[in-house]
Amino acid sequence: AQSVSQHNHHVILSEAASLELGCNYSYGGTVNLFWYVQYPGQHLQLLLKYFSGDPLVKGIKGFEAEFIKSKFSFNLRKPSVQWSDTAEYFCAVNANQAGTALIFGKGTTLSVSS
Amino acid sequence: DVKVTQSSRYLVKRTGEKVFLECVQDMDHENMFWYRQDPGLGLRLIYFSYDVKMKEKGDIPEGYSVSREKKERFSLILESASTNQTSMYLCASSKTTGQGSYEQYFGPGTRLTVT
A49 in B contact zone (CB under 8 Å)? yes
Banded model confidence at residue B99, pLDDT cuts 50, 70, 90: low
The pLDDT tens digits of the residues spanning B33-64 come to 999 999 888 999 999 999 999 999 999 999 99
Banded model confidence at residue B104, pLDDT cuts 50, 70, 90: confident
The pLDDT tens digits of the residues spanning A69-81 come to 999 999 999 999 9
If you ran DSSP here, which 8-state letter would residue A102 be given? P
Rounded CA separation B51/B48 (Å): 9
How distant is the Cα of A103 from the closest Cα of chain B, in angstroms? 7
Amino acid in the structure at residue A43: H
**Identity of the residue in A4, A44, A99 whose CB atom sits nearest the CB atom of B90:** A44
Q: Say if residues B24 and B31 touch (Cβ distance below 8 Å).
A: no
Q: Indicate the Cα dihedral angle B91, B97, B99, B102, nearest 10°.
A: 40
**CB neighbours of A9 closer than 8 A, spacing ≥ 6?**
A106, A107, A108, A109, B40
Could B96 and A98 be called an inter-chain contact, meaning their C-beta atoms sit closer than 8 Å?
yes
Find the mean pLDDT for residues B5-15. 95
**Identity of the residue in B95, B97, B104 whose CB atom sits nearest the CB atom of A102:** B104
Chain A, chain B: beta-carbon pairs less than 8 Å apart = 56
What is residue A101's predicted lDDT score, i.e. its pLDDT?
Answer: 84
The pLDDT tens digits of the residues spanning A82-103 come to 999 999 999 999 877 766 788 9
How distant is the Cα of B40 from the closest Cα of chain A, in angstroms? 6
Size of chain B, expressed as the number of residues it contains: 115
**CB neighbours of B39 closer than 8 A, spacing ≥ 6?**
none
The DSSP result for B9-58, as a single string, is SEEEE-TT--EEEEEEESS--SEEEEEEEETTTEEEEEEEESSTT--EE-
A8 in B contact zone (CB under 8 Å)? no
What is residue A29's predicted lDDT score, i.e. its pLDDT?
Answer: 81
Give the residue with greater pLDDT, B112 vs A32. Answer: B112
Could B50 and A99 be called an inter-chain contact, meaning their C-beta atoms sit closer than 8 Å?
yes
Find the mean pLDDT for residues A32-48. 91
Q: Tell me: pLDDT of A108 over 90.
A: yes
Could A102 and B43 be called an inter-chain contact, meaning their C-beta atoms sit closer than 8 Å?
yes
**Identity of the residue in B35, B42, B45 whose CB atom sits nearest the CB atom of A105:** B42
| Alpha carbon separation from A105 to A24, A38, A79 (Å, rounded) | 9, 13, 23
Q: For residue A42, give the chain B residue with the closest CA.
A: B108
